Amino acid sequence: MNKAQLVEAIADKVGGRQAAADAVDAVLDAIVRAVVSGDRVSVTGFGSFEKVERPARYARNPQTGERVRVKKTSVPRFRAGQGFKDLVSGAKKLPRGGEVAVKKAPKGSLTGGASSTARTTTKKAAAKKATTARKTAAKKTTAAKKTAAKKTTAAKKTATKKAAAAKKTAAKKAPAKKATAKKTPGKKTSARKTTAKRAAAR
What is the Cα–Cα distance from 166 to 174, expressed in whole angstroms? 12
Q: What is the pLDDT of residue 105?
A: 62
Confidence of residue 180 (pLDDT cuts 50, 70, 90): very low
Answer with the residue of higher pLDDT: 58 or 140: 58
Tell me the CB-side half-sphere exposure of residue 52, using CA atoms within 13 A. 9
Of the listed ranges 2-6, 9-13, 158-162, the least confidently predicted one is 158-162
Q: What is the pLDDT of residue 125?
A: 63
* DSSP 3-state of 107: coil
DSSP state of 61: -
Task: Estimate the crossing angle of helix 3-14 against helix 17-36, to 10 degrees.
Answer: 120
* DSSP 3-state of 59: strand
* DSSP 3-state of 112: coil
Q: What is the pLDDT of residue 181?
A: 44
The reply to whether the predicted model has a pTM over 0.85 is no
What is the Cα–Cα distance from 49 to 27, expressed in whole angstroms? 13
What is the Cα–Cα distance from 43 to 80, expressed in whole angstroms? 9
